[in-house]
């Protein structure tokens, strides 16, 4: 089946495209390359365009009337940047998704899988969150995700669309077949920073926050291999209609956590990294950064119940894949 993947030239979107292809499907990529990489679109159907360009979307659907679903990954994603540039974040993520959803609906593409984020959750005692746990998005970025979920839910209710919002926990790793991985040179994500420290590109790994009420004082997260995450999207589009049959009750919108169901602290992640890497790395302890939270991990029961999906790959495998990707990245990507 053909699936529109917005943001398909990005880290997660490109991995989803590989997983779709491995399952015999055809991704149609729509990406403006603001952070994505053209190298990840090679050999794939690719439209370099903005998600809010209505004429561009019309052209895609004219040329591919057999698209059965859309996976909407395109977004700006850097939390501190969203604090400095809320206008850009609300425009790119919220206003443009509004246009995208409207246009998809008008063009008859009423199955939407949306990349949401665990950053919408409030911190809860014990740190495990279910889909109905309290929400408290703590940054402009997280609020854009929250708003996009609300918009999608209201559109599903009003306009005959169906939506699956997948709340990702903390994606790490790279495509195990090394077709893609984290493309940014100075990643804001934790594993990217560990890899850069190991490779001598930054002097030390900063453990930001050591007095959180967790088992060792450092933040707790649910690190999920990006390949597991990508496969969940394949299952979501393959079983899209069945998901709503399983839900019953005429529902048209559902939220699903995508995590391993296991919380890992920053110190535990660093230890796992050092085990896989084979030697210790430089680390320094720092106070939390503005907007940091103790964290959360997923209750992943809904994904198992509705999609038959659960994470299979270990954190060690994700670290090994990230390290392997770091070795070859500059040969795959041609930086100016
Ligand atoms: N990486 C994470 O830790 C994480 C966690 C939770 C949720 N998510 C969500 O997953 C999705 C993908 O994230 P990622 O890590 O792959 O980021 P990324 O920056 O690698 O990918 C985003 C892609 O969207 C494209 N894009 C952005 N704005 C666009 C626009 N207006 N029109 C067309 N294309 C546009 C970019 O060029 C890029 O290729 C995002 O929606 C993000 O919010 C990511």
140 lines ligand 1 (CB under 6 A): no
- pLDDT in 10s for each residue of the chain, 336 residues: 999 999 999 999 999 999 999 999 999 999 999 999 999 999 999 999 999 999 999 999 999 999 999 999 999 999 889 999 999 999 999 999 999 999 999 999 999 999 999 999 999 999 999 999 999 999 999 999 999 999 999 999 999 999 999 999 999 999 999 999 999 877 778 898 999 999 899 999 999 999 999 999 999 999 999 999 999 999 999 999 999 999 988 999 999 999 999 999 999 999 999 999 999 999 999 999 877 889 999 999 999 999 999 999 999 999 999 999 999 998 889 765
Q: What is the atom index within ligand 1 of the atom nearest the CA of 119?
A: 6
Ligand 1 center from residue 205 Cα (angstroms): 24
Domains of the chain: 2-175+223-259+299-311 (3.40.50.720)
Distance of CA 82 to the CA centre of its chain: 16
pLDDT of residue 222: 98
Q: Tell me which of 8, 51, 73, 85 to substitute to probe ligand 1's pocket, judged by most ligand atoms within 8 Å of the beta carbon.
A: 73
Q: Evaluate: CB of 149 within 6 angstroms of ligand 1.
A: no
Determine contact, residues 68/3, Cβ cutoff 8 Å. yes
Q: Quick check: 265 and 215 in contact, CB under 8 A?
A: yes
Task: Please tell me the distance from the alpha carbon of residue 38 to that of residue 18, in angstroms, as a whole number.
Answer: 14
Active-site residue (options: 47, 90, 121, 141): 141
**CA 77–ligand 1 middle distance (angstroms):** 6
Ligand 1 mean position to 295 CA, how many Å? 21
Task: Give 256-267 as a DSSP string.
Answer: EEES-S--EEHH
Residue 334: burial class (beta carbons within 10 Å; 0-12, 13-18, 19+): exposed
13 lines ligand 1 (CB under 6 A): yes
Report which DSSP code applies to 39.
G
How many CA atoms, within 13 angstroms, populate the side-chain half-sphere of residue 278? Answer: 3
Tell which one of 6, 36, 121, 223 to mutate to probe ligand 1, the residue whose CB is within 8 A of the most ligand atoms: 36
The 10s digit of each residue's pLDDT in 244-279 is 999 988 999 999 999 999 999 999 999 999 999 999
- What is the spatial distance between Cα 193 and Cα 284, in angstroms, rounded to a whole number? 13
Q: Name which residue sits closest to atom 1 of ligand 1, judged by CA.
A: 171
Query: Is this structure's pTM higher than 0.85?
Result: yes
Neighbouring-strand partners of residue 270? none
Per the annotation, the verdict on 141 as an active-site residue is yes
pLDDT value of position 266: 96
Our answer on whether the CB atom of 12 is closer than 6 Å to any ligand 1 atom is yes
Helix, strand and coil content of the chain, in percent to the nearest 5, comes to 45, 20, 40
**Is there an atom of ligand 1 within 6 Å of 34 CB?**
yes
Q: For residue 164, what pLDDT is reported?
A: 98
Q: Contact, 276 vs 323, CB < 8 A?
A: yes
pLDDT (0 to 100) of residue 189 = 81
């Amino acid at each position: 089946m053909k699936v529109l993947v917005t943001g398909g030239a990005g880290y997660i979107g490109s991995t989803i495209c590989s997983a779709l292809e491995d399952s015999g499907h055809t991704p149609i990529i729509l990406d403006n390359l603001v952070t994505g990489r053209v190298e990840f679109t090679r050999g794939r159907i690719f439209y370099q365009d903005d998600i809010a360009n209505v004429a561009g979307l019309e052209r895609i659907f004219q040329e591919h009337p057999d698209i059965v679903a859309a996976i909407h990954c395109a977004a700006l994603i850097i939390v501190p940047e969203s604090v400095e540039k809320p206008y850009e974040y609300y425009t790119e993520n919220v206003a443009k998704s509004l246009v995208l959803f409207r246009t998809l609906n008008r063009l008859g593409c009423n199955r939407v899988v949306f990349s949401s984020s665990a950053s919408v959750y409030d911190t809860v005692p014990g740190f495990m969150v279910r889909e109905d746990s309290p929400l408290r998005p703590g940054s402009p970025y997280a609020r854009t995700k929250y708003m996009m979920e609300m918009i999608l839910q209201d559109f599903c209710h009003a306009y005959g669309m169906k939506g699956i919002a997948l709340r990702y926990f903390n994606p790490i790793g790279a495509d195990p077949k090394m077709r893609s991985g984290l493309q940014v040179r100075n990643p804001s994500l934790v594993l990217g920073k560990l890899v850069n420290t190991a490779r001598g590109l930054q002097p030390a790994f900063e453990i930001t926050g050591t007095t959180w009420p967790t088992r060792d004082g450092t933040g707790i997260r649910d690190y999920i291999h990006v390949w597991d995450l990508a496969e969940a999207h394949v299952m979501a589009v393959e079983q899209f209609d069945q998901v709503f049959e399983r839900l019953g009750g005429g529902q048209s919108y559902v939220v699903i956590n995508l995590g391993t169901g296991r919380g890992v602290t920053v110190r535990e992640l660093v230890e796992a990294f050092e085990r896989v890497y084979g030697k210790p790395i430089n680390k320094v302890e720092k106070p939390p950064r503005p907007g940091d939270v103790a964290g959360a991990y997923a209750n992943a029961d809904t994904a198992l119940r509705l999609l038959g999906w659960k994470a299979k790959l270990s954190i060690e495998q994700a670290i090994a894949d990230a390290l392997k990707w770091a070795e070859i990245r500059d040969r795959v990507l041609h930086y100016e």
